[in-house]
Amino acid sequence: MPIIIMAMFYSHMAVAGKSDLVYDIGTFIIAVSAGQLLSGYIMTKDIPQGGIRIAAIALLIIITVSFCLFTFFPPKYPLFRDFVKGKYGIINYSY
């Protein structure tokens, strides 16, 4: 779902140059629907064994650690910029 949301949002921003509430809500609905369809498909299959299960757990750990790190120490790329405050991350370094 996050990949679909980011791809559709930044594609729309590149073409239109601004955000549109109706398009954003539509993007969310499409991403959630795709995620639910994929989840339903995966749940009807046999439980993965061996290497696939280990790879899935490793990927989940990597995503969780990345989310935590990028929340407090994001790279200086536009994707991580807070457009309201113009800053990166949630830690205030002005002391």
pLDDT confidence of 27, banded at 50, 70, 90?
A: very high
pTM given for the model: 0.61
Domain containing residue 85 = 49-95
Give how many domains the chain has, as a whole number.
2
Claim to verify: residue 31 and residue 58 sit in the same structural domain: no
Claim to verify: residue 54 and residue 94 sit in the same structural domain: yes
Claim to verify: residue 60 and residue 74 sit in the same structural domain: yes
**What mean pLDDT comes out for the span 4-28?**
90
- Summarised one tens digit per residue, pLDDT across range 39-94 is 888 888 877 677 888 888 999 999 999 999 888 888 888 878 877 778 887 776 54
Claim to verify: residue 11 and residue 40 sit in the same structural domain: yes
| Rounded Cα–Cα distance for residues 20 and 8 (Å) | 12
Closest by CA position to 76, among listed 94, 91, 85, 88: 88
* DSSP-derived 3-state class of residue 17: coil
Claim to verify: residue 64 and residue 86 sit in the same structural domain: yes
Claim to verify: residue 35 and residue 61 sit in the same structural domain: no
